[in-house]
């Protein structure tokens, strides 16, 4: 049973206590908060032990297992936030498609959406009935997480989710998805309407169930020119982001390869904007303006380096943040599979030890 909690009320309290929530609001903190995208996953022996017995889709379908995996990095690493264990592609199934994770290939959607008819056949997700197991995992986690470790819910941004739906899996050149925008804009807009409404419902349901912040992943948005972003993507991202922001919880808007898109992403929405490592953190923050918080931006490969080199890279990011309120430390994109766990734990300590007056 899902027991919704009155998060809408708590979330708008002006002075949250947890470091992570304070930084989202650009309030002073005792230490820089840190968490990592893909902090739960195959680089962790505890995760691999569960994956030996269950597929990824089985884990996310069983709320107690999903909650257990979500808690693993909180216990092992000492991070300042937990991210719900789920996947951005789960909602494509109730939209009417199939989803598999093929070994070595990543996600596979067999019925790639390539026409206006196919786009019109999709249905809008009703999160309570279609993805109730995810909401139940949120309820379990809110009971089990320590009070100073907030839970982050998430969804994919409409463009990134639609890319997988049109390409049928990971893409190299995004030929089909960009082809649809250019050759059949009506089909594209119809697809984006359904995806955006679905993501909006899903994210609001996660907040209602107890997520204390949410992240919208636009992992592949850097494939687009600013003009195409504005015409084909921004209105849909904005709808999802603004709906989540209206609840009062912090909203993290993440993308990669976004140097030319950052101001447009900020316009679309987000309390916090994610930065990858391709741009120095202070340059990215400068482009965005200091009225928004930022998250990032360690190169995930730095986590493989000898500890003194890692320390240098971690401190490089912190120095660029310059102790300004509103920085959440993270990698610029998810933790890679063979990353040594002890280095990730060491990076958490390095961030926490960085002096704040
Ligand atoms: O710890 C966390 O970050 C929470 C869990 C999480 C997963 N996926 C679990 C997962 C989150 C936040 C995601 C988001 C996600 N999923 C994104 C956006 C973030 C990004 O990395 O850009 C994307 C693009 C996806 C789609 C997806 N799911 C891909 C491309 C893959 C294959 C990657 C691979 O390494 O095989 C997945 C599978 C997936 N989702 C794994 C995990 C931990 C791989 C591990 C496994 O198979 O057990």
Q: What is the CATH number of the domain that holds 276?
A: 3.20.20.210
* 217 CA closest ligand 1 atom index: 18
Q: Is the pLDDT of residue 257 over 70?
A: yes
pLDDT mean over 261-285: 98
Query: Mutate which of 39, 81, 88, 104 to test ligand 1's pocket (most atoms within 8 Å of Cβ)?
Result: 88
Q: Please, which pLDDT band fits residue 157 given cuts at 50, 70 and 90?
A: very high
**Ligand 1 neighbours by CB, cut-off 6 Å:** 37-42, 51, 56, 83, 85, 87-89, 101, 106-107, 154, 170, 217, 219, 334
Q: Which long-range contacts (CB under 8 A, 24 or more apart) does 162-165 make?
A: 162/113, 162/188, 162/191, 162/192, 162/195, 163/220, 163/223, 164/89, 164/92, 164/107, 164/109, 165/92, 165/95, 165/97, 165/109, 165/112, 165/113, 165/191, 165/195
Q: Is the pLDDT of residue 11 over 60?
A: no
Percent of the chain's residues with pLDDT above 70 = 96
Q: Is the pLDDT of residue 333 over 70?
A: yes
Q: Six-digit token pair at 302?
A: 């730095």
Q: Six-digit token pair at 69?
A: 């995996």
**Catalytic site includes residue 47:** no
Q: Is the pLDDT of residue 8 over 70?
A: no
Span from the CA of 297 to the centroid of ligand 1 (angstroms): 18
Mean pLDDT score of the chain: 95
> Which residue among the candidates 51, 120, 121, 324 is catalytic per the annotation?
51
Residue 104's pLDDT is 78
In this structure, the residue with its CA closest to atom 11 of ligand 1 is 87
Closest CA to 97 of 152, 159, 156, 164: 164
Span from the CA of 218 to the centroid of ligand 1 (angstroms): 13
Residue 211's pLDDT is 98
Coil, strand or helix at 85: coil
Please check whether residue 146 lies inside any domain of the structure: yes
Residue 105's pLDDT is 80
* 84 CA closest ligand 1 atom index: 4
Query: Mutate which of 37, 40, 41 to test ligand 1's pocket (most atoms within 8 Å of Cβ)?
Result: 41
Task: Note the pTM of the prediction, 2 decimals.
Answer: 0.95
Q: Please, which pLDDT band fits residue 14 given cuts at 50, 70 and 90?
A: low
Please check whether residue 9 lies inside any domain of the structure: no
What is the domain count for the chain? 1
In this structure, the residue with its CA closest to atom 25 of ligand 1 is 88
In this structure, the residue with its CA closest to atom 31 of ligand 1 is 106
Residue 335's pLDDT is 98
Q: Domain of 132?
A: 32-353
Please check whether residue 12 lies inside any domain of the structure: no
Span from the CA of 86 to the centroid of ligand 1 (angstroms): 8
Q: Are 135 and 2 in contact (CB under 8 A)?
A: yes
Please check whether residue 153 lies inside any domain of the structure: yes
**Catalytic site includes residue 143:** no
**Rounded CA separation 108/98 (Å):** 8
Coil, strand or helix at 106: strand
> Which residue among the candidates 25, 62, 87, 126 is catalytic per the annotation?
87
pLDDT mean over 230-251: 98
Helix (H) or strand (E) holding 183: helix 175-183
Q: Is the pLDDT of residue 9 over 60?
A: no
Q: Is the pLDDT of residue 5 over 90?
A: no
Residue 10's pLDDT is 47
Please check whether residue 19 lies inside any domain of the structure: no
Percent of the chain's residues with pLDDT above 90 = 92
pLDDT mean over 155-160: 98
Q: Please, which pLDDT band fits residue 13 given cuts at 50, 70 and 90?
A: low
Please check whether residue 22 lies inside any domain of the structure: no
What lies within 8 Å, CB to CB, of 65 at 6+ separation is: 50, 54, 58, 59
pLDDT mean over 162-175: 94
**Rounded CA separation 348/326 (Å):** 18
Q: Are 202 and 127 in contact (CB under 8 A)?
A: yes
Q: Is the pLDDT of residue 6 over 70?
A: no
pLDDT mean over 234-246: 98
What digits encode the pLDDT tens for the residues 82-129?
Answer: 999 999 999 999 999 999 998 878 899 999 999 999 999 999 999 999
Residue 172's pLDDT is 86
Please check whether residue 243 lies inside any domain of the structure: yes
Q: Are 33 and 348 in contact (CB under 8 A)?
A: no
**Catalytic site includes residue 164:** yes
Residue 290's pLDDT is 94
Cα–chain-centroid distance for residue 1? 26
Q: Is the pLDDT of residue 1 over 50?
A: no
Please check whether residue 231 lies inside any domain of the structure: yes
């Amino acid at each position: 049973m899902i027991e919704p909690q009155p998060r809408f009320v708590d979330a708008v309290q002006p002075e949250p206590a947890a470091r992570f929530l304070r930084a989202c609001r650009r309030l002073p903190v005792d230490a820089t908060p840190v968490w990592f995208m893909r902090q739960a996953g195959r680089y962790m022996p505890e995760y691999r032990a569960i994956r030996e017995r269950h597929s990824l889709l089985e884990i996310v379908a069983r709320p107690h297992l999903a909650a257990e995996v979500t808690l693993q990095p909180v216990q092992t690493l000492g991070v300042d936030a937990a991210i719900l264990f789920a996947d951005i592609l789960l909602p494509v199934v109730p939209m009417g498609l199939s989803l598999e994770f093929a070994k070595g290939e990543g996600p596979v959607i067999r019925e790639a959406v390539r026409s206006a008819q196919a786009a019109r056949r999709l249905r809008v997700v009703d999160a309570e009935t279609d993805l109730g197991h995810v909401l139940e995992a949120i309820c379990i986690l809110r009971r089990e997480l320590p009070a100073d470790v907030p839970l982050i819910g998430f969804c994919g941004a409409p463009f990134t989710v639609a890319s997988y739906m049109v390409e049928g899996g990971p893409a190299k050149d995004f030929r089909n998805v960009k082809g649809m925008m250019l050759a059949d804009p009506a089909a594209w807009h119809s697809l984006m309407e359904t995806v955006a409404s679905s993501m909006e419902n899903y994210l609001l349901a996660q907040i209602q169930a107890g997520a204390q912040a949410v992240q919208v992943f636009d992992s592949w948005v850097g494939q687009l020119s600013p003009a195409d972003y504005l015409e084909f993507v921004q209105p849909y991202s904005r709808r999802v982001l603004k709906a989540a922001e209206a609840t009062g919880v912090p909203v993290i808007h993440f993308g990669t390869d976004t140097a030319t898109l950052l101001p447009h992403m900020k316009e679309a929405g987000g309390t916090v904007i994610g930065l990858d490592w391709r741009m120095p953190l202070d340059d990215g923050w400068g482009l965005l303006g200091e009225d928004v918080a930022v998250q990032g931006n360690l190169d995930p490969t730095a986590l493989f380096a000898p500890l003194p080199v890692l320390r240098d890279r971690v401190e490089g990011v912190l120095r660029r943040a310059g102790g300004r309120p509103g920085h959440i430390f993270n990698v610029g994109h998810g933790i890679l599979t063979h990353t040594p766990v002890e280095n990730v734990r060491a990076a958490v300590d390095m961030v926490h030890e960085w002096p704040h007056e």
